[in-house]
C-alpha cells in the first residue's frame, strides 16, 4: 500500500522491482494525481497495480491486508496523522512493515530565514506566528518516531540525511513547478492576500541578491526515513 501515491511515485518503481507476484495499491485524496497514475498503469500494462481514492479516516481495506505500507513525503502532509497511522496498523499484517520518508523541520531553512526577516520588519506578529506554524508542521525525528510507536509499531530503522536543492536564483526557485505546486500555497497562507505582492516581491528580490552573492541559491532539504514492524 502506497499512501499519498500522487501520480505513482514510488508505487510504480516498487511494482516493477517486485514483479507480477505482488499486488500494489496506491491511495490518495488527489483525484487528478490518481488519474495520471492510472494513465501510467495502462501504459505500463501493470495489472498488479490498483488505485483508490481516500477521503476519510477509514481505509477501505480489511484488517491485516498488507505486508508493506509505504509513504513518500506523506507524514508531514496528513491532516490527522495519528488516525492514518492507526489505520496503517490495522491493515498491516503481523510481521508486516511500514516505511516512511518525510521532510522534517529545517526543510528549506534558508528560505524561511529570509521570509521570517521580512515578516519581522513588516510588523504584523500574526504573520510570524502563522509562518512558525507552517514551518513546524513538518515535525521532527522524535515527533514522527513517537507517533509511529504510539500507533503500535516497533521502530527498526531510522536514517537521517539531507541534500541540497540548487537554483540559479530566487526567481527560478519561485517559478519552479514543484515549488508552485507543493509549497507556494502554504507560504501564501501565512499572510493576507492584500500583502502578497509587496511581501513576495521583496522575498524574491532578497533571494535573488543571495544568489548573486554566492553564485547560486541553495536550499537544504533534510530527509527522514523511518521503518517499523507490526510485531503483535
What would the DSSP string read from start to end of 43-107?
HHT-TTEEEEE--SSS-SS-TT-EEEEEEES-GGG-TTHHHHHHHHHHHEEEEEEEEEEEE-TTT
Residue 64: count of CB within 10 angstroms of its CB? 13
pLDDT value of residue 55: 79
pLDDT value of residue 217: 98
| Chain segment 89-107, per-residue pLDDT in tens | 999 999 999 999 999 999 9
| pTM score of the predicted model | 0.91
| Chain segment 17-27, per-residue pLDDT in tens | 998 999 999 99
Question: Which positions of the chain have pLDDT values less than 50?
Answer: none
Longest C-alpha distance within the chain, in Å? 60
Strands 66-72 and 92-103: parallel
Residues 75 and 89: their CA atoms lie apart, in Å, by 14
Residues 186 and 137: their CA atoms lie apart, in Å, by 11
pLDDT value of residue 79: 84
Amino acid at each position: 500500500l502506497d499512501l499519498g501515491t500522487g501520480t505513482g511515485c514510488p508505487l510504480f518503481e516498487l511494482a516493477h522491482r517486485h514483479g507480477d507476484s505482488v499486488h500494489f495499491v496506491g491511495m490518495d485524496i488527489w483525484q487528478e494525481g490518481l488519474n495520471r497514475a492510472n494513465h501510467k498503469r495502462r501504459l505500463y500494462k501493470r495489472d498488479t497495480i490498483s488505485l483508490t481514492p481516500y477521503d476519510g479516516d477509514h481505509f477501505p481495506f480489511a484488517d491485516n491486508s498488507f505486508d508493506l505500507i509505504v509513504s513518500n513525503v506523506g507524514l508531514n502532509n496528513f491532516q490527522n496523522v495519528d488516525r492514518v497511522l492507526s489505520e496503517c496498523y490495522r491493515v498491516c499484517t503481523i510481521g508486516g512493515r511500514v516505511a516512511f520518508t518525510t521532510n522534517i523541520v529545517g526543510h528549506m531553512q534558508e528560505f524561511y530565514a529570509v521570509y521570517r526577516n521580512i515578516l519581522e520588519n513588516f510588523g504584523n506578529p500574526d504573520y510570524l506566528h502563522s509562518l512558525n506554524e507552517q514551518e513546524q508542521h513538518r515535525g521532527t525525528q522524535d515527533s514522527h518516531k513517537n507517533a509511529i510507536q504510539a500507533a503500535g509499531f516497533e521502530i527498526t530503522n531510522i536514517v537521517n540525511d539531507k541534500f541540497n536543492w540548487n537554483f540559479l536564483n530566487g526567481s527560478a526557485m519561485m517559478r519552479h513547478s514543484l515549488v508552485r505546486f507543493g509549497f507556494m500555497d502554504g507560504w501564501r497562507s501565512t499572510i493576507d492576500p492584500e500583502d502578497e505582492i509587496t511581501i513576495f516581491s521583496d522575498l524574491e528580490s532578497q533571494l535573488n541578491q543571495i544568489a548573486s552573492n554566492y553564485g547560486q541559491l541553495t536550499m537544504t532539504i533534510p530527509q527522514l526515513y523511518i521503518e517499523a514492524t507490526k510485531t503483535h
